[in-house]
Structure 1
Amino acid sequence: MELRQLQYFLKVAQKEHVTRAAEELHVAQSAVSRQIHQLEQELGVDLFMQKGRNLQLTPVGQLFCKKVESILKELEHSVNEVHEFLDPERGEIRIGFPHSLGTHLIPTIVADFRKYYPHVKFRFKQGSYPSLIKDVLSGEVDLTFISPFPENDEHVSGDIVMTEELFAILPQNHRLAGESEIRLEQLQKEKFVLFSQGYSLRPIVWQACLQAGFQPQIAFEGGETDTIRGLVAAGMGVSLLPEMAFYQTNPLQPAQVKVVEPAVTRTVGLIYRTDSKLPLVARSFRTFLISYFKARQNNTPVGS
């Protein structure tokens, strides 16, 4: 069975006529008829039956047509992927990231990157720490931002791109809301609004509270940065969030206070599967990101 036979078969099925199919394929009518005949002989079934001046798919022909459509679409997609893989200025970058980076950082980075590579497409996937690791290992994404950086995972490789400070967030009318800095132990009697199990910020906040000498009392749990921030602003408790989480336009805002004892930080890494070869466009994006965050640390423009 040849690819040409499948292409000719599908065109005849679409046009319901050999002559019209041949005209679109820019080949002789006899060539199309011959390929269809050879295909039917190989399969041992009739794929078409005559209906007036047109051809109509037989029941088995209809079944075969659906399979052929799927095969040819997948083949076309695979060919396009190969071309895009080899082109660093086009193609699609599949990238994952935690929710806390989605409000400001990801849109800013993508906008800056597309100034240099305007034809590149992006496919985004948000998730928790376990799901982001899973997406990298399964090949669902090429690269993913992740926090904390997985230091000893032999299945992924990557770089720490930044270390980010976490701030206490409090209702605006909280007794400590006007302070420039606080010790975490000052919140030990408060109710906390935390991320749900599986989100990387939860164990960071939990461990910081234990280090400060107490176990946090949980009032509410959520999976979105906006939810955590909104609940705190509404007076439902207190929490800790990275500075990156404060970029938004909702008028209901919690107070943001620096925590000095203990200092609470998180690492943010960019990882990819160790045993995979990144598409050229994804490699270009990774190189851009490393430069982007180095320039950010040094307060210099990207590309300078």
Structure 2
Amino acid sequence: MELRQLEYFVAVAEERHFTRAAERMHVAQSGLSTSIRSLERELGASLFVRNTRSVELTNEGRALLTQARHALANVAAAKDAVAAVRGLLIGKLAVGTLQCLGAVDLPAALARFHADHPGVEIRLRQGGSPDLIERVRTGDLDLAFVSAPPGMVSGVTLAPIRAEPMVLACGPDHPLRERTTVDLCELAGETFVDFSPGWISRDVVDQAMAAAGVERRVAFEVNDVHWLLDLVSHGLGIAVVPQFFTTKRTAARFVPITDPPHWNVAVATASGRHPSTAATALLALDDIRPRTEAGQLPPAAIGRG
């Protein structure tokens, strides 16, 4: 098994198309296809289900994909280590992030990193925390800035950045708008706006409301922060959101919650694998280094998977 075969395999798996994979790897499609067939013969298994429009991974292919990404990441880390001794920082850095990340000014941090290390190619992917965490686990991303789930995550280490209290967001005419604080139990019977099921912030609020004995009705499910605040601003529902939403330009009003649930922001990296030199350099920047100061989550509070 050769590294080039693994690179071709990962390209086909990610592109789900032999022609696009060949273009991405700058090789003839016939050569790429021959390499994949040779790899399948060596492993004694079909890695793809092929059809005229696209290809899909078989169960064997999915098992190989995670290991192939890890193998390629280890080779890249070895090259990085040699380059670092020579005072160079090269290679690629794949970063994932939430749509709205109040704890870190990631665009500014990436700009600083790029200015310091122009030899590193940066790739950014935005998405929901569960998807980003899975991509870190499988090696598709070097690291990701995520909303930390309440429990342990297998194969991923979550280093805390900030534990942020959540607040009530309501419309400008809502009866609770002028309150100095509100209890969760007072929200019974309200119509809610929230993110879709599976989003970690949604899970945090669901658990907090259940603990307060409130059965809530989420009538408006969104996947965009601005949509959520617009719906709240027009009086269509209320929401429980991270405190940094108060910095957004919106007509919504925000009220502190007594004994609020917390939204925990963390950096996800793969367990059992040293981060690349580039990832380590990014995380060393002062404005995104994982913290343990007062008011922020200690590492033990999130743990390792």
User: Please, what TM-score do these two structures have when normalized by structure 1?
Assistant: 0.63
- Cα contact 2:167–2:260 (8 A) shared by 1: no
In 2 relative to 1, CA 82–140 (structure 1 residues): closer, same or farther, beyond 3 Å? Answer: same
Once the two structures are superposed, the pairs formed by residues 177-196 of structure 1 within 5 Å of their partners are 177-196=177-196
The equivalent residue for 1:226 is 226
Q: Return structure 1 stretches of 4+ with deviation > 6 angstroms.
A: 77-82, 295-298
Distance 1:294 1:102 in 2: 15
Report matched runs for 1:86-235 at 5 Å.
Answer: 86-87=83-84, 89-101=89-101, 105-114=105-114, 116-117=116-117, 120-149=120-149, 151-235=151-235
Q: Of the candidates 268, 283, 292, which is equivalent to residue 280 of structure 2? A: 283
Q: Are residues 283 and 265 of structure 1, via their aligned partners in 2, closer, same or farther at CA, if it must alter by over 3 Å?
A: same
Change (3 A) 1:293 1:108: farther
Query: 2: distance between equivalents of 1:121 and 1:230?
Result: 36
Please tell me whether the aligned partners of residues 157 and 268 of structure 2 are also in contact (alpha carbons under 8 angstroms). Answer: yes
Q: Distance in 2 between matches of 1:254 and 1:117?
A: 41
Cα displacement (A) at 1:69: 8.9
d(CA) in 2 for partners of 1:214 and 1:136? 35
- In the TM superposition, residue 128 of structure 1 has moved relative to its aligned partner by 2.0
Counterpart CA distance in 2 for 1:93 and 1:84 is 11
How far off is 1:297 after superposition?
A: 6.4
Ranges in structure 2 where 5+ consecutive residues have no aligned partner: 1-26, 35-71, 296-305
Q: CA contact under 8 A between 2:194 and 2:239: conserved in structure 1?
A: yes
1:294 aligns with 2:255: no
* Alpha carbons 1:104, 1:244 under 8 Å: kept: no
CA contact (8 A) 2:103 2:162 kept: no
Percent of paired sites with the same residue: 23
Which of residues 250, 255, 258 is equivalent to 2:256? 258
Q: Indicate whether 1:271 and 2:268 are aligned.
A: yes
Aligned length: 228
Q: Which has the larger radius of gyration?
A: 1
- After TM superposition, the score normalised by the length of structure 2 is 0.63
CA deviation vs aligned residue, 1:251-271 (integer Å, no higher than 9, x gap): x431111111x3210221111
Q: Deviations over 1:179-211 (max 9, x none)?
A: 222112222121000111111111111111122
Cα deviations across residues 206-259 of structure 1 (Å, max 9, x unaligned)? 11112222111112101111211111111110001112334444xx43111111
What letter matches 1:157 in structure 2?
A: T
The 3 A distance-change label for structure 1 pair 246 and 119 is farther
Alignment partners' CA distance in 1, 2:266 and 2:196? 21
One-letter amino acid of the counterpart of residue 239, structure 1: A
Q: Distance in 2 between matches of 1:144 and 1:100?
A: 13
Q: Is 2:109–2:287's contact at 8 Å kept on the other side of the alignment?
A: no
Aligned to 1:109, the other structure's residue is in SS state helix
Separation in structure 1 between the aligned mates of residue 164 and residue 33 of structure 2, nearest angstrom:
47
- Conserved in 2, the CA contact under 8 Å of 1:196 and 1:221? yes
1:61-100 equivalent positions in 2, closer than 5 A: 66-67=29-30, 86-87=83-84, 89-100=89-100
Task: List alignment gaps of at least 5 residues for structure 1.
Answer: 1-63, 72-76, 299-304
C-alpha displacement of 1:149: 4.6
Partner deviation per Cα, 1:72-91 (whole Å, 9 max, x = no partner): xxxxx999997567456444
